[in-house]
Structure 1
Amino acid sequence: MSLSVEKYWIGVDLGGTNIRVGLFDNEGVILREQKELTEVDKGPAHVIHRLETMIDKVKGSNRIQGIGIGMPGPLDPYEGVVLNPVNLTGWDGIPLASIMNDYYNVPCYIENDCNVAALAEAVEGAGKGYPIVFYITVSTGIGGGLCINREIISGATGNAGEIGNIIVKENGILHSYLNPGSMEGMASGTSILRMAREEGLDIQQAHEVFLVAEEGNPIALEIVETTVDALARGMAAIAHVIDPYIFVLGGGVALSVPGFVDKVRDRFEQYIYQVMRGKIKVELAQLSDAGMIGAMYMIRKKMEGQDR
């Protein structure tokens, strides 16, 4: 009788502020984890060395099967190359997957952070049990990820789910390099905060606008209306193409505002076909470690696909 060999996996959530690294067993249980500041201002070489040190600590003497990394785009998930994300200064054409592969001699894959979060929510979060899951993060920016049958859909260029550039308002706010009136320009935490400060509201964080709106402040109410409407329009555009079973909303703004999902769901229903109303769920994300968990599932799925 043969004995099964325990397998171990590394999941990484590499962000502009923090790096989180976890060691998982083959059941998807996290055994050890570590969180440290990214220190992106010290350059890619420093961050990569920091990441290697963290992985060494969490894996210990365990032999790992592979490393999955979720991180901000743009990136090329097929070649494993980071393509100069806005919040990772200096990361222009960094072949991160091959660097990690060479160092550990195990497969390493990188993927957009929203895509791996979508996978985590599809496998064991709010989207569990649904064939088509679309994840949206409403945070500093707006991002998205699509999973069909618990598989990430990356698209031809690796940019499937990059919904922040969808135009939701003609002649709307110009934000960063995106289209004027983009979802990110009209509904991200950064844009909410900018709109509030331009109108003289004394707030420090985007979610505070919703609290002030609850008190009846007309300026805050108008900003909330702009935000909710922009999200709902973008989601309706996605729904008419993808027709997901569920939208999962995550990110700092979505998770910190009471009743946020209800507001967005109600407006979203107004913009979709009548026959679709009441049939597409809109729910809050359930997992606090979605980036790290999703990165682990991503590498496992890549490896399992190669073994077929």
Structure 2
Amino acid sequence: MNMSWKGVMPAMTTKFTDDDRLDLKMFEVNLKAQMKAGVDALILGGSLGEASTLLEEEKSVLTRAAVDMVDGKIPIVVNIAEQATKAAMNAAETAEQDGASGLMILPPMRYKADDRETVTYFQEIAKSTSLPIMIYNNPVDYKIHVTLEMFEELLKYDNIQAVKESTRDTTNITRLINRFGDRLKILGGVDTLALECLVMGADGWVAGLVCAFPEETVAIYRLVKAGRIDEAAAIFRWFLPLLELDINPKLVQNIKLAEVATGIGTENVRAPRLPLAGEERAQVLSIIENGMKTRPKLPDYLNL
């Protein structure tokens, strides 16, 4: 399936049973809710998907299951976050064999590669696969900044096509557009900045709270692209306290608790993570409960 790198792409949570196995039944419940809401692709195995805790065979099971569930209707993108170039190339090969339509790739993990090493890392992966690639640029969390000059080198490879822009600097959207035009697709990667990114010309939104609130997320995107900014902003203002749950060290637990509230997930996380407890849990529940009580009525966003 061709990747267009636009629209809403949920960074899917990974569902677990009470005995810590993959919960493919609940995963399918959530996946169907995403598709019904109108998302444009699904991203598996990101930080929100607890990828660092998944066994390699579990990643393959999850990818193959998702490919079967979407039945060719939307693309499946697999995240790659590895320490070694060789391991990343192997992961790309496995994702392709499992039926993925694209890859989202982080810079090398743990080792803080310099610019030359980072560019070479991405280039070697690009040469090893026919799948289209989105670079995940998140210097705040992962300490490596993919600069405009680095993208100049990376875009010599046709299958490097997009960036998940998570620098927290919304002016970077304009810099990227000015420098690369339509050659590099841009997807906002920070929930609380998504509206600004879309208004400034981002092609899409790699979203987190979409896992619990898919309709509201897609509505914001579709309204912006239809030029109905005021309506999108009104929904976004309601959404912001919930979106802030994504910019938190316990984003996985927060978002899974929100999925419970909307009926499309469970709280189960994989150790060393534990479900929220005590005052921390109460505060998050208060935000979620208020959001549920004040949930806005949406326009017919799928037919704009």
Looking at CA atoms only, which structure, 1 or 2, has the larger radius of gyration?
A: 1
TM-score, with structure 2 as normaliser: 0.30
> Structure 1 or 2: larger strand share?
1
TM-score, with structure 1 as normaliser: 0.30
